[in-house]
Amino acid sequence: MTYRIALSVLLGLAAPLLSQAIPTASRAADVQVGIGYSGARPGYVQRTFPGITAYADIDFRTHLGVEAEFHNLADHGGSQMAERTYELGARYFRSYGLLAPYGKAMFGLGQLKYPQGLTVLDYWMFAGGAGADFKLTSRIHLRGEYEYQGWAGFSNGSLHPQIVTFAVAYHFPARLRRR
């Protein structure tokens, strides 16, 4: 019992010993919004579905951020099939000069429009991805990305779409906030 009291006192006194200067400014979040062209192998049929992707990244920390992403992919070969996903998740990135590679883990909702447009069903889905942003200018970034998805509860076995995206984004640089 006494060791718990001694430990509590030591930990309580340790906080004042770690003093440092109060910052006069702090970094606001980095934000970028982009749109791109995607090609997907839906996993339901052996075709490639072209489509669009829109995304927004908010980076709160030096290497950590969140991403929201939307994919709209459709078969233009007459089957009327389509896949649409709405995703939200975390991303980890590093910057090496003009290149910023990243990895991400996403969760969301996937909608599958079955052949001939007979029905549209929703599925919970998860995704992992990796890619890189290339800083063309301080405000314009180019992106290349690969994403692997898993759709939970898919009735006809497993569904694992794979998506490749090439995109361009507008980057809103972080501003310092005065305290």
Rg of the chain in Å (alpha carbons): 22
pLDDT digits (tens, 9 = 90+) for 132-154: 999 999 999 999 999 999 999 87
By residue range, what is the domain housing residue 61? 28-178
pTM: 0.80
pLDDT digits (tens, 9 = 90+) for 9-35: 444 554 554 555 555 555 578 899 999
Please indicate, yes or no, if residue 141 is contained in any of the structural domains: yes
CA 94 to mean position of chain CA atoms: 14
Count other Cβ atoms within 10 Å, centred on residue 58.
15
Please indicate, yes or no, if residue 60 is contained in any of the structural domains: yes
What is the count of structural domains for the chain?
1
Q: What is the pLDDT at residue 6?
A: 46
pLDDT digits (tens, 9 = 90+) for 164-177: 999 999 999 776 55
Q: CATH number for the domain including 59?
A: 2.40.160.20
Please indicate, yes or no, if residue 9 is contained in any of the structural domains: no
Please indicate, yes or no, if residue 17 is contained in any of the structural domains: no
